[in-house]
Amino acid sequence: MKKCIRFTGLILAFLFLTTPAVSAAQSLVPGGQIIGLSLENSTLTVAKLDEALPSGKNAGLLPGDRITHIDGDPVETAAALRQALCRSHGTVQIRLLRDKKTLDLTAEPDITPNGPRLGIYLKEGITGVGTVTWYDPDSGKFGALGHSVNGPGGQLLDMKRGTAYEAEILSVKKGRSGTPGQLMGQLDPNAPVGSLEKNSTQGVFGKLTQPIRGESLPIAEPEQIKTGNATIRCTVSGSSVQEYSVKIQKIYPGNRTDGRNMLVKITDPQLLETTGGIVQGMSGSPIIQGGKLVGAVTHVLVNDPTTGYGIFIENMLDAAA
């Protein structure tokens, strides 16, 4: 997420399409809508401790711990963990990963009317909000983010399944030099709008059950993308998509697969006033130039929030195919 000549830091601006429908499409509806993404990956992570049930705290569990075994048996879901606790007799042996180290803890589960509990809230996978890049009205498929969703260790999250939800932006933390900004949003767990099918280094892909309305634009090939004026579409308040002016400052080789094919600078006074530039949650904002969909915002340069990187749309579509 920041300044170009010095690569002092980058922040990601934050799901299988086996048919050729998306990559073969000649035009797509550009997005800009905020969307909730929930990716499950057969891991259990402690989100926080339950102050009313002390067993987890007493055992030494901490937020961020990844629980892998109970009494020697592997557990990959919250339901499997509950079943393991029900089979226990007074105490349980917990094996977990903390900062890439394996630890073994002993816990005495709290006895509740709903059975034994460890006094922890669990997170299965990763949940957050991002921006839709494109939607194919012929197939219902879509792409978002322009980069991968990574696990706690920084590696590509091995998604087993995922769901897309309605979401909205509640507030904006403005970006400043050295301090990345962020769109503060929330998803509605009671309003699923599609499924996630692939998490890749070029984006998250899936299929929507509710169509995105809008005019389809032709897809630009990399050689058609030029330095100069362009626009992006994104949501920085509620669920309203707006279009803002940017400038493509530099074009990089198209064979780069790290989501850094273009250097993009925000020039729109309104967006700069609202966000300070590119902020987390804007990943996936579609970039439009000359009436064509050319790519998506992916990163912000940490020391210059007005500037960041974008991925070619062709690279996203290749990853989705």
Residues belonging to the active site: 147, 268, 283
Residue 318 — left, alpha, or beta (φ > 0 → left; ψ -120 to 50 → alpha)? alpha
Dihedral sign, Cα of residue 103, residue 104, residue 110, residue 115: positive
HSE of 25, CA atoms in CB hemisphere, 13 A: 29
Query: Kind of pairing, strands 101-107 and 92-98?
Result: antiparallel
DSSP 25: -
Alpha helix (H) residue ranges in 6-69: 21-24, 55-59
**Separation between Cα atoms, residue 12 and residue 156, nearest integer Å:** 13
Do residues 61 and 118 make contact, with C-beta atoms less than 8 angstroms apart?
yes
Do residues 125 and 158 make contact, with C-beta atoms less than 8 angstroms apart?
no
Tokens of 168: 């909205």
> Quick one: three-class SS letters along 130-165?
EEEEEEECCCCEEEECCCCCECCCCCECCCCEEEEE
**Separation between Cα atoms, residue 80 and residue 121, nearest integer Å:** 14
DSSP secondary structure of 91-110: BEEEEEEETTEEEEEEE-PE
